[in-house]
Amino acid sequence: MPSSQRRRVLRLGLGGAAATAGLAAMGCGPAQAVDRALRWSSLSEAQAEVLRLARAPQRVSSARWDWAGTLVHCAQSIEYSMASYPQPRSALFRRTVGPAALAVFAWRGRMAHDLAEPIPGAPALPVQGDAGAALARLEAAIAAFGRWAGPLQPHFAYGTLTRAQYEAAHAMHLAEHLSEFDAQALA
C-alpha cells in the first residue's frame, strides 16, 4: 500500500477512535451494563425491591431476559426448591463444586453466575412475557416458600440445603438478577 493511502487509513482510523471516545465521554456511546451489586440475605428484602422495580414507570436494564422472563426464572428456582429441579448436575458436582461455590457466595454475600443461563431442564422463558403474570408468579413462589413445611428438594447444583441456606441462596439469586435492572424516571 502506498504511503499516502496508509496515512489516509491511519487518519480515518484515529478520527473514528477519537469520535467514539468523545461520544462515550458524553454518554452517547454503547449502553453501559447495569450492575447495582445488590445484596440480600432474606426473601423479604428481595421482595421489597421487586415491588419497587415493578412499580417503576420505566426500567433500564442490561439483562439478556426482559423483566417478565427474569421474574419467571427467579420464580422457577424457588418453586423447584419445593417441587424438585428438573435436571440436576451430577452427584459428584452437588457434593463438591456446587457446595464450594455456594460457600464462596455466602462468604462474599453475593452470587456470581451466568445470568443468561436458564435452569437446566426448565421450560423456556417467555421472550416478551406478561410482566403482571410473572410478578404474580414470583410473589406466589416467595409466599409458598415462606409457608412450606415439607422437605426441601436438593438444589440442582448446590445439593442438599437447609431452609436458611435456601433462603439466602434465593435472596442472592434475586439480588444478582435484579442488579441488572434499575428504575428510571420518565423525562
Per residue in 3-44, pLDDT tens?
444 444 333 333 333 333 332 222 222 344 678 889 998 999
67, pLDDT greater than 80: yes
What was the pLDDT predicted at 112?
Answer: 92
65, pLDDT greater than 60: yes
Q: How far is CA 69 from CA 13, 55, 60, 122, 128, in A?
A: 40, 17, 15, 12, 7
pLDDT tens column, 108-160: 999 999 999 999 999 999 878 899 999 999 999 999 999 999 999 999 999 99
What was the pLDDT predicted at 180?
Answer: 93
Task: Spell out the SS3 assignment of the chain.
Answer: CCHHHHHHHHHHHHHHHHHHHHHHHCCCCCCCCCCCCCCCCCHHHHHHHHHHHHHCCEEEECCCCCHHHHHHHHHHHHHHHHHCCCCCCCHHHHHCHHHHHHHHHHHHCCCCCCCCCCCCCCCCCCCCCCHHHHHHHHHHHHHHHHHCCCCCCCECCCECCCHHHHHHHHHHHHHHHHCCEEEECCC
What was the pLDDT predicted at 135?
Answer: 97
pLDDT tens column, 33-49: 678 889 998 999 999 99
What was the pLDDT predicted at 127?
Answer: 78
What was the pLDDT predicted at 150?
Answer: 95
Q: How far is CA 13 from the centre of its chain?
A: 37
